[in-house]
Amino acid sequence: MLPDARSRLFMTSSTLSSTESSVSIQSGDTLTLESGGAVVGGTVAAGGKLIISANGNAENIVIASGAVGSVLSGGVIEDAQLTDGGKLYVYKGGISSDSLGALVISSGGLSVSASTTSGTTIYVYKGAIASDTTIQGVSGIVRVSSGGQALDTTVKSGAYLWVSSGGSVSGVNVIESGGYVGISAGATASDVTINGGSGRISGTGEDYTLTNSAYLWISSGGLLTSATFDTGAYAMMSNGATINEATVLNSAVLHVSAGATTSNVTVSAGGQQQVAGTTVSATIASGGLDILTSGATGSGDVITDGGLEIVSAGASVTGETVSSGGELVIVAGAQAADITNAGGIIISAGAILQSAGQFVSAIALDSDLSSLTVASGTTLDVFSGMSLSGVQNAGNVIVESGADITNAVLASGAELDVSGTASGTTVQSGAIEAVGTGGRSVNATVQTGGIEIVTGQVSGLTPQSGASLNISAGGVAESDTLASGAIEVIWSGGSASNETLES
C-alpha cells in the first residue's frame, strides 16, 4: 500500500529534530526523533521502526502489525494505536500516554492511561509502572512481573490482570462479569473491587470488596486482610489460606475449607460463613449464619442479637459468647467448651458440653433430648418445658420447675439440683442430687459415697451401703429402701414414711 500523498515518507534510517505531521515509516525504515523532534499523526508499517529519544515526542501514531515503536529516556508518545501484532516498548525514563494495544514497559518506564484490545498484552516489567490502565477486549491482558507496579487498573469482561511473584497492584476495579485478577504467590494487591468478575489470591491481598455474585479463590498460602463480601459474592478458601478481618453480608458466602483459617470475620444480614477449618473471634450479627461442619473448630466467637451459629457433628467450639437474642445450636456429636450465654443454647442429643462455662438459659432442640454429656466445671440450666434423658453429668445440672430429667448418671463431683422432676437418677460416689422445694425425685439409686439432699419430695430411692440420705426441713421421703450401712438423717421439719432398712 502506497503512503498517503499528504504524508511525509521516511526511507531507510532517518532522524528528525523538528515537527512533522502525517509521517509514514515503511518496512525496513527507521525514524529516530531526537531532541526537539516531534511527529503528529502518521503510521509505522510492518517492518518499520519509530524511535523516540530524549525530548522527542510522537502523537496519534498507528503502529501496524509487525511494526515497532520504542520510547527511550526522556521521550514521550501519546495516543499510539497498535494494531494486532504491533508493539510499543517503553524504556527507562520513557513515557507512554493513552496507548491502545500491545505495550512492553521496561524498568524505569511509565505508562499512563493505556488500554488493551482483544488478544493484546501489556507487559509491566521490574521497575516499570503502569497507571490508570484499562484492560478490555476478549483476552486482553496485563502481566505485572516481579518488581513491576500497576496502579488504578480497570478490568472489563473477558480481560485478565496477572500479577507474578514480586509484582504489585493497587486500585484494581473489575467492573464486569468475566473480568479476572490473579495474584500469584509472592505478589501483592491492595484496594481491589470485583463487581461480578472473579479473582484468585495465592499471595497477599488487602482491602478487597466483592459484589454482585463475584467469585474469589484464596489458595494455599494466600493471605487476605480486610475484605467485604456482599450481594451474593462467594469466596472459597483452600487448605493453608488465611483471612484476617472480613465482613460477609447480603447472601454472600465465605467457605473455609479444612486447613484454612479466618479471624475477626463479621457475618450479618443474610451472609453466611461455612467452616470446615478454623474460625477465631468471629461476630455473628443479626441475620448472619455461621456453620461449623465436621472437623471445624471455632474459638472466641460472639453471637449477637439475631445471629445464629450451628456446630455440627464432629465440630467443636471454645469460648463462645451468646448475647441476648443470639442463638447457638450444638448438634449431636459436636463439642462446646467455655460458653458464656445470655441468649439461647439449642442442644441436640449426643452433644458434649465441656470445661468451665455458665449456661444462663438453654432450649431443647426437640422435646425428648437424650445422651447429653455435661463435663466437669460446666453448668447447664434446664428450663420449664425441657425434657432430658440419659444425661452423663460430671458438672452441675439445674432442673427448673416444670422441667424433667430421666436416667441421669452423676459422676464424682457432679451435682443435680432438682426443682422440677427427676426419675431414675444414679448418684455415684462423690456426687450429689439435691431435691429442692417443689422438686421431686423418683426411683433414684444412691451409690456408696453418694449424697441425696431433700427439701422437696423423694420416693422409691435406693441408697446403697455408705450412701447418705439427708431430709431437711420441708423435705419428704417415702417408700425408700435403704441398704445396710446406708445413712438416713431426718432434720427438724423433715419427714419420712414407709421407709425400709435392709438388714
Write out pLDDT tens, residues 472-485: 999 999 999 999 99
Residue 90's pLDDT is: 99
Band of residue 349 on the pLDDT scale cut at 50, 70, 90: low
Mean pLDDT for 323-334 is 84
Task: List, for residues 488-502, the tens digit of each pLDDT value.
Answer: 999 999 999 999 999
Q: Which residues contact 2 (CB under 8 A, 6 or more apart)?
A: none
Task: Provide the pairing of β-strand 38-44 with 57-63.
Answer: parallel
CB count, 10 Å around CB of 138? 12
Of 59-68, 255-264, 335-344, the one with minimum mean pLDDT is 335-344
Band of residue 355 on the pLDDT scale cut at 50, 70, 90: very low
CB count, 10 Å around CB of 442? 16
Residue 353's pLDDT is: 62
Distances (CA, A) of 97 to 45, 61, 237: 21, 12, 39
Strands (E), 184-249: 188-195, 198-201, 204-211, 215-218, 223-229, 234-237, 242-248
What's the CA gap between 487 and 459, in Å, rounded?
16
Mean pLDDT for 386-411 is 87
Band of residue 9 on the pLDDT scale cut at 50, 70, 90: low
- Yes or no: say if 309 and 328 are a contact pair by the CB < 8 Å rule: yes
What's the CA gap between 55 and 38, in Å, rounded?
9
Mean pLDDT for 64-78 is 97
pLDDT at 436 over 50: yes
Residue 395's pLDDT is: 82
| Helix segments in 16-138, DSSP class H | none
pLDDT at 426 over 90: yes
> Which of 337, 399, 406, 348 has its CA nearest to residue 372?
348
Residue 356's pLDDT is: 39
Task: List, for residues 205-224, the tens digit of each pLDDT value.
Answer: 999 999 999 999 999 999 99
- The vertex-164 CA angle with 158 and 170, nearest 5°, equals 75
383 SS3 class: coil
pLDDT at 4 over 60: no
- Yes or no: say if 478 and 500 are a contact pair by the CB < 8 Å rule: no
What's the CA gap between 291 and 45, in Å, rounded?
62
> Which of 336, 342, 406, 402 has its CA nearest to residue 368?
406
239 SS3 class: coil
Q: What is the pTM of this model?
A: 0.79
Of 70-84, 300-314, 322-336, 340-354, the one with minimum mean pLDDT is 340-354
Band of residue 417 on the pLDDT scale cut at 50, 70, 90: very high
